[in-house]
Amino acid sequence: MIRTRVTLAMVVLVASLACTGETTPEPTPTPAPVASPEPTPAPSPDRGKHKGKGGKRQGRPGGTQDVIAAYVADCAAVFGAEDPELGPSDDECEFRPFDQSCAPDFQGCHDAGESCKDRCQPRCQNCQDHCRQTCDLCKSRCEAGDKACVRACAEKRAGCRDDCLGEKSGCEGRCDTTEHTCWEDAYAERSSLCPHCTDLFDCNQRMYKAGRPATDCLAEFPGTDPRCIDLCVSE
């Protein structure tokens, strides 16, 4: 059992050191010449139904008028989003900003938060599908050639989209709050069980660099719960 804890502590310590940058630096390649950027034209959405039902859009909308124009042409237009780290996402309902945690998730708080956010995405897509159906119904009631009527339907569709994205943002925010509370409770519990956690963390690193097992730290802190060897691999 102790050998298992030692192995786990050493593995997580390697990950911790990697996240803090204590690794052998890779040689920096010579950057290629950067070409002068050219203006990017406003993207055009693919036509069809919402993702999962046929249609999708590459790229982000250029603004409110771009969104309305897309919905004038097709109530089912889908807009994308882009993250500097992860690149483009075809569907803004599936978009999530890059988030990396190098700390050991010893209570599963980060994983629970990410799973919570996963559930926000289909709710957004269902909302968008409802908006599409309402928009199509609205257009079906317009007289032939009545552009003002069609545009009014598209404007309502754009507002409905905003509501969907707002709910998605609120959903993800609630997930962040739940994850934050989980971490607070986890650290409070760890502090109670392992009052010398900071010292154990320093000891763990010293033992790792010296090629010694982390359990040797228990001798420096008599009475310490052995579980703290794993729990205190991060400060």
Give the rounded distance of the alpha carbon of 168 from its chain centre. Answer: 13
Same domain, 136 and 233: no
- Do 160 and 208 reside in the same domain of the chain? no
Residue 24 lies in a domain: no
Q: Given this model, what pLDDT does residue 232 score?
A: 83
Residues 124 and 71 in one domain: yes
How many domains would you assign to the chain?
A: 2
From CA 80, how far away is CA 65, in angstroms rounded?
A: 16
Which residue range forms the structural domain that includes residue 57?
41-192
Tell whether 206 is covered by a domain: yes
| pLDDT at residue number 151 | 97
Are residues 114 and 101 part of one domain? yes
Give domain status of residue 11, yes or no.
no
55, 46 contact by CB (below 8 A): yes
Residue written as tokens 């956010």? 117
Q: How far apart are alpha carbons 10 and 134 in whole angstroms?
A: 57
Pair (169, 63) in one structural domain: yes
The tens place of each residue's pLDDT in the chain, 235 residues long, gives: 434 444 434 434 444 444 444 443 444 444 444 443 343 333 334 433 344 343 434 345 556 788 999 999 999 999 987 766 666 677 899 888 777 777 777 788 988 999 999 999 999 999 999 999 999 999 999 999 999 999 999 999 999 999 999 999 999 999 999 999 999 998 898 889 988 888 888 998 898 899 998 888 888 888 889 888 888 876 5
116 and 74 belong to one structural domain: yes
* 149 and 199, same domain (yes or no): no
The reply to whether 131 and 210 lie within a common domain is no
Q: How far is C-alpha 189 from the chain's CA centre?
A: 26
Q: How far apart are the C-alpha atoms of 73 and 9, rounded to whole Å? A: 58
Domain assignment present for 99:
yes
CA–CA gap between residue 217 and residue 230 (Å, rounded): 12
- Give the per-residue pLDDT at 196: 86
